[in-house]
Amino acid sequence: MRLTVDDSFDPIPSLSHLPTVGVTAAASGAEPEAHLVQAEAPLPAGAPTWEELAQVGFEGKAGQRVLLTGQPLRVLVGIDEFSSAALRDAGATAASAVPQSTNLTVHLPAAINQAIPSDRAQLVQALAEGVLLARYRYTPLKSADESPAFAHLTLVSDQPEVAEAARRGAVMARTTNLARDLANTPPRHLNADRLGAVAERLGHKFGLTVEVFGPEQLADLGLGGLLGVNAGSVEEPRMIKVSYRAGERQLALVGKGITYDSGGLSLKPSNPMHALMKSDMLGAGAILAAMTALADLEVDTSVTAWLMCTDNMPSGSSTKLGDVLTIRSGTTVEVKNTDAEGRLVLADGLVLAAESSPDAIVDVATLTGAALAALGPRSAALFANDDHLAHLVEAAAASTDETVWRLPLDARYRDQLKSHVADLSNIGGSYGGAILAALFLNEFVGEVPWAHVDIAGPMYSDQDDLWRVTGSTGFSARLLVELAQTFTTH
């Protein structure tokens, strides 16, 4: 008998208990309240003095917090500066101070209420994101939930734009949490077929056109990379095309959707990293999640996504080392390592995206261990053939605090991708692995402005760190929404 997962299993549980946000002019006193305070700034009525707070180690610095018992329970959260990143962090510090509470009221500090409206909106949005991202937990496969799901955030302010900014923050947090759900879901619970079904559901709910392509259609389209990676699997591959129609500008997104990366015949060792390979579809997951925010945030750029989905498994039918695959462009690739599978599925996706002549292509992929080795778990590697597009990605990343660091598309390494029997090899030498992978992808985008974001480093957090809670980070989901919002051609 084949082990199956119940069809009723929901891979996107966070959508069924979405927290709500609201604004009030005066707190009700019925739920925990947070105050964001700068060192030596006036404290809320009834709070201890700065001298007394110093005795318990609270000086109003970022990351510090102190709980004041009483009714309501109050938490003072230190804050050093008024930037989006600082507000997101402060929101997370406040929310994690009361892990058992389903509700939280946050008083906006005077500096925010008095800021110019556009700054205020940014700061409030980030604050709401911080609260809602910090309280995310992945619990559908636990028999008992440890802490209650967060239900409602109230902001205390008398300023008119605050409600809209909080709403945008909630949409952004929903987006990241959706990507986290998808990447936290175990591989048997979320294969390519189920991912296609989830995309259709989301498309229906969020006003997107979704087309799901099965094996025969993929063969008709000549997607030899995707089919070659899928060859060893008992599961069918899917390409999921998601479109959001708005203005004239066209942004294309391509996502690596490896629902499980065993390495194929180039089998990975059974170490903790291997167990994270259920998240090798985060590129596709983050893109799918980002698409769900576009209508809610009235984005005026049209966005089309190609999500390249399959698992990568060893078996008697697997692609073998030395096999040659033909990408949709006609380019032939000798597979010298079946664990370098992401670039094979992305190649087909990039060719399809380039054929649609968009203004730019951005691909997102958990592509190389080398990107993790180079930059660690806090930054993604960015590559681009176009400076304007690179700057847009960098600005979006700065705004969402999903850090990217640009690395060079160094053509001097291009020769390492030569093959004796095919046009290209899917691996190069031992060094500069993230660059070699980017150079491989570069072969498939033609002259279209293109950026590649290798998220292997920041895809996962092994600890609760402010709003980056343990598990999949959902990295790049908000970055992509921000990019779509700010996208311009040269």
329 lines the binding site for ligand BES (CB under 6 A): no
Amino acid of residue 318: S
* Residue 339 lies near Zn ion (rule: CB under 5 A): yes
Distance CA 406, CA 267 (A): 30
* Candidates 155-163, 298-306, 360-368, 376-384; binding stretch for ligand BES (CB under 6 A): 360-368
Sign of the alpha-carbon torsion through 433, 434, 435, 437: positive
Interacting partner of 293 out of ligand BES, Zn ion, none (Cβ under 5 to 8 A depending on kind): none
* CB of 343 vs ligand BES, minimal distance in Å: 8
Catalytic hit among 180, 194, 343, 468: 343
- 438 vs 159, 162, 407, 426, 481, CA distance in Å? 47, 41, 10, 11, 23
Phi and psi at 105, nearest 5°, equal: -110, 130
Contact 61, 41 (CB under 8 A): no
Q: Quick one: 399 or 425, whose CB is closer to ligand BES?
A: 425
Q: Exactly one of 91, 130, 257, 342 binds ligand BES (CB under 6 A); which one? A: 342
Task: For residue 261, state whether it binds Zn ion (rule: CB under 5 A).
Answer: yes
308 alpha carbon, distance to own chain's centre: 16
Report the candidate in 342, 379, 334, 340 with the shortest Cα–Cα distance to residue 363. 342
Q: Which does 72 bind (CB under 5 to 8 A by kind): ligand BES, Zn ion, none?
A: none
Q: How far is the CB of 295 from ligand BES (least distance, A)?
A: 31
363 scored as a contact of Zn ion (CB under 5 A): no
Q: What is the largest CA-CA distance in the chain?
A: 78
Q: Binding of Zn ion at residue 342 (CB under 5 A)?
A: yes
Q: Per CB under 6 A, does 372 bind ligand BES?
A: yes
Q: Does 402 bind ligand BES (CB under 6 A)?
A: no
* Contacts (CB under 5 A) with Zn ion, residues 299-318: none
Segment interacting with Zn ion (CB under 5 A) among 90-98, 130-138, 221-229, 253-261? 253-261
Radius of gyration of the chain (CA): 23
What's 460's DSSP letter?
E
Size of the site for ligand BES (CB under 6 A): 18
Catalytic residue among 65, 268, 336, 378: 268
CA angle 204, 311, 203 (to 5 degrees): 5
Whether 343 is catalytic: yes
The backbone torsions φ and ψ at residue 222, rounded to the nearest 5 degrees and listed phi first, read: 75, 35
Q: Is residue 205 among the annotated active site residues?
A: no
Segment lying near ligand BES (by CB under 6 A), choices 25-33, 46-54, 214-222, 362-370: 362-370
Residue 371 is given by DSSP the state: H
Does the footprint of ligand BES cover residue 341 (CB under 6 A)? yes
| One of 331, 337, 485, 486 touching ligand BES (CB under 6 A) | 337
Exposure string of 366-387, with b = 16+ CB inside 10 Å and e = fewer, is bbbebbbebbebebbbbbbbbe
- The β-bridge relationship of strands 238-244 and 209-213 is antiparallel
Write the CB contacts of 3 (distance below 8 Å, at least 6 apart in sequence): 188
List, in order, residues 6 or more apart from 144 with CB less than 8 Å away. none
The Cα 90–Cα 97 span in angstroms is 11
Which positions from 275 to 294 touch Zn ion by CB under 5 A, shown as an x/- string? Answer: -----x--------------
273 binds, among ligand BES, Zn ion, none (CB under 5 to 8 A by kind): ligand BES
Q: Which residue of this chain has its Cβ atom nearest to ligand BES in the complex?
A: 369
Q: In the numeric block, which tokens belong to residue 267?
A: 């089998």
Pick from 33, 129, 280, 443: which binds ligand BES (CB under 6 A)?
Answer: 280
> Could you say which residues in the range 411-470 bind ligand BES, by CB under 6 A?
427, 433, 456, 459
Residue ranges that bind ligand BES, judged by CB under 6 A: 261, 273, 280, 337, 339-342, 366-370, 372, 427, 433, 456, 459
Residue ranges that bind Zn ion, judged by CB under 5 A: 258, 261, 280, 339, 341-342
Q: Which residues belong to the active site?
A: 268, 343
